[in-house]
Amino acid sequence: GLFVGDLVRWHTTPLGLAIVNAGASVLTLQGVAAASSPIKPALPKDYMVCGHTWHGLQLLDYALLSELPYIKPTAANDVPGLLRSLMPHHNISVVGTNGTGIGQRPWMEFELTGD
């Protein structure tokens, strides 16, 4: 049969990180801060929603979180490491996952503390 590894995976690059979806599309984020240097990213104010926060997260944060359930939470994928890289200014962790079976919708629950 056909063996498919991790459909979505990520890795660091010299300038930031890349999230690869099925080897076909790549989201490259340059200038992503290391977990040891907490900075708040600046977003352009092209749309009224840009720059606003809900529970300490901006729209881009929610968009990135919506992609994470498609990454299997394995040691090789290091989802906590990805969260630290994407959002070094937040204390966010994965507290639950589901939907790992065939035909199930992936689901991931996060906990945001502090901020």
Ranges 16-20, 32-36, 79-83, 104-108: which has the least confidence? 32-36
The share of the chain scoring above pLDDT 90, in percent, equals: 0
Residue 1, pLDDT > 50, answer no
Average pLDDT over residues 25-36: 70
| Mean predicted lDDT score pLDDT of the chain | 77
Average pLDDT over residues 7-13: 83
CA distances from 20 to 39, 49, 106 (A): 25, 27, 17
Average pLDDT over residues 101-109: 78
Half-sphere exposure of 39 (CA within 13 A, CB side): 8
Separation CA 93–CA 112 (nearest Å):
7
Where is 93: in which H helix or E strand?
strand 91-98
Q: How many CB atoms lie within 10 A of CB 87?
A: 25
Residue 60, pLDDT > 70, answer yes
Paired tokens of 96: 């639950």
Closest CA to 22 of 7, 12, 33: 7
**pTM: predicted TM-score of the whole model, two decimal places:** 0.66
